[in-house]
Structure 1
Amino acid sequence: MQVHEKRRDIINYVASLKKKQKTIGFVPTMGALHKGHLALVERAIQENNIVIVSIFVNPTQFNNSEDLVNYPRTLTSDVKLLSSLSSNNIVVFAPKPEEVYTEQVSSISYDFHGLEHEMEGKFRPGHFDGVGTVLKHLFTIVSPTKAYFGEKDFQQLQIVKKLVEIENMKIQIIGCPIYREESGLALSSRNKRLNELQLKTAPIIYKTLKQVQKDFGTKSVTKLDEWVSKQFENNEVLTLEYFEIAKVSDLKSIKQKQKETKYRAFIAVFAGKIRLIDNIALN
């Protein structure tokens, strides 16, 4: 399997593919790969001639410096995992920050039409500027036909679609279903940091979302908000950061439902210092 660290090598490689009219699928990751990532890569393989997987822990999207330091970096095992899918159709791009940010490692300030101020944006100021900036750089380097993102980060998915529109990039953004453990817990690289008790308790997050989905047609938003808060009130392992029901179109949280409008429920929970997010379609 080819593993490139230099942006020039990837740019030249992509140019050679495009001369042959090859399609390029792109799966941007921060490494510590799991089955959720592999599901994205498998779909990209099905739909493209070549798949490029970036493995890059992006410093500009971390609000918490401790979280950046503790984020798992497992390049050798990541490459081995990808090789189990294909050694011919996958190329890894694992750059250093200076290869992605050719000048200063800093974020561009973006206006994502308000999407960046909802939910995650309220609790992680500047986070989506970091996401948008690194993806602009990676999209420019890789120049993919299609790029694949999981719906676990649904807000990010919507922002990436807006980024491509703002930057006028001819890239098709593909959203893929959330990949879950048998317990229902959404797969995340952060799950590797959970201790045994946290891992055993964390499936409550998805169970709570499933109940909200079930009750959405008969209960008010206020009642659902109150019920979710109570589920975590006396939980000694998990702490609720936020729960919101929002419109899919603009991610604005709601207090009352409207007909013919699509909604989604979003949640963020702390297990100790480890932050877990999840979401579910409601209608």
Structure 2
Amino acid sequence: MRTFPTATGLRTYLDGLPNDQTVAYVPTMGALHAGHMALITAARDSHDVVVASIFVNPTQFNEASDLDTYPRTPEADADLLQLHGCDALYLPAVEDVYPSDYEDRTSRLDFGPLVAVMEGANRPGHFAGVAQVVYRLLDIVRPTTLVLGQKDYQQVAVIRSMIEQLGVKVDVTVVPTVRERDGLALSSRNRRLNDAERLAAGTINLHLKAVAAGLTAGWDPKELEKTAFREMAHHELLAPEYVSIFDGDTLQPWAADAPVRELVVATAVRCGPVRLIDNFIVRTSF
């Protein structure tokens, strides 16, 4: 695996590839785990070249403390990427991603109701930062396929919208969430949990599964949201911010029995010092 600290170096490498080779790109913020490696494996299985990036993007953090404490393990990350077949790693400084003359094309985009709910409502400006960095990284890498994880369901929807609005020529592949044995979605933030918090965090997915079971049984979605929120709030180490049942395409609240391509329940929960998100696809095409 080759590591490039600059966009210029990475582009020189990519421009030297045969024209018929396909390139898959996996953007990350580092502190890599098995969930990230599932993205690398999916990319490796269907493309000639796999590119990953590690960049903790300052423009998408709402809390300075979250940015400051975000785990950074670049050497271990590089070893893991190489072990799983990554061909090229882009490991830039902020100044390389955002040079002084950089013009942000995403600032004029309108994501409408996609960012009016859930993470968008709770983290103002977050998705503007996500769109900004993903567009910039796509402009550098110019991949055949962008590989993303299902855990960031709303983020995927925003990125798809950004790609469509700006006419970016790239396919998007979404890989299912990888979980611990107790169902906790793998996240770089999990390593900041102490033992008691980690045990509490493992119950979050159980509440989502309970909501899914209730929906399958025909229970009222609003009551299921309230119940899951209340039950998590009863735990002394959990502080839920929202539980939402929504149409996977529009991200808007689901009215019982309304036809949707994908029905999803999602949550954001603070557990000790860490904010965790998760989602569960209840069912598809009904």
- Written as runs of structure 1 = structure 2, the 5 A alignment for 1:165-180 is 165-180=164-179
C-alpha distance in 2, partners of 1:7/1:102? 11
1:118 is matched with: 117
1:275 is matched with: 275
The answer to whether structure 1 residue 70 and structure 2 residue 69 are counterparts is: yes
Pick which of 135-144 and 102-111 moved more. Answer: 102-111
Q: 4+ runs of 1 displaced by more than 3 Å?
A: 104-108
1:90 is matched with: 87
C-alpha distance in 1, partners of 2:233/2:251? 26
Distance 1:226 1:117, change over 3 A: closer
The Cα shift of 1:73 comes to 0.8
C-alpha distance in 2, partners of 1:15/1:220? 54
Pick which of 124-133 and 89-98 moved more. Answer: 89-98
1:202 is matched with: 201
Letter in 2 for 1:39: A
C-alpha distance in 2, partners of 1:105/1:207? 44
Sequence identity of aligned pairs in percent? 37
2:131 is matched with: 132
The Cα shift of 1:104 comes to 6.7
Pick which of 94-103 and 67-76 moved more. Answer: 94-103
Distance 1:251 1:267, change over 3 A: same
C-alpha distance in 1, partners of 2:27/2:173? 12
The Cα shift of 1:233 comes to 3.0
Root mean square deviation of aligned Cα: 1.5
C-alpha distance in 1, partners of 2:67/2:177? 24
Pick which of 199-208 and 106-115 moved more. Answer: 106-115
SS in structure 2 at match of 1:27? strand
C-alpha distance in 2, partners of 1:163/1:148? 15
SS in structure 2 at match of 1:282? strand
Distance 1:219 1:105, change over 3 A: farther
User: C-alpha deviations, 1:72-120, integer Å up to 9, x for none?
Assistant: 111000011112213xx52100000111112278964331232122210
C-alpha distance in 1, partners of 2:93/2:199? 36
User: C-alpha deviations, 1:206-253, integer Å up to 9, x for none?
Assistant: 000111111103210122022112212321111111111111121012
Pick which of 260-269 and 192-201 moved more. Answer: 260-269
TM score, norm. by length of structure 2 = 0.94
C-alpha distance in 2, partners of 1:281/1:270? 21
SS in structure 2 at match of 1:239? strand
8 A contact 2:268–2:278 mirrored in 1: yes
Distance 1:104 1:122, change over 3 A: farther
2:98 to 91, 98, 101: 101
2:3 is matched with: 3
Letter in 2 for 1:122: A
1:234 is matched with: 234
C-alpha distance in 2, partners of 1:104/1:78? 30
Pick which of 196-205 and 56-65 moved more. Answer: 196-205
8 A contact 1:5–1:94 mirrored in 2: yes
Residue correspondences, number: 279
C-alpha distance in 1, partners of 2:83/2:120? 36
Letter in 1 for 2:224: L
- Written as runs of structure 1 = structure 2, the 5 A alignment for 1:123-272 is 123-217=122-216, 218-254=218-254, 256-261=255-260, 262-272=262-272
C-alpha distance in 2, partners of 1:85/1:176? 16
User: C-alpha deviations, 1:22-66, integer Å up to 9, x for none?
Assistant: 111000000000000000000101111110000000000000000
Distance 1:117 1:185, change over 3 A: same
User: C-alpha deviations, 1:105-137, integer Å up to 9, x for none?
Assistant: 896433123212221000000000000000111
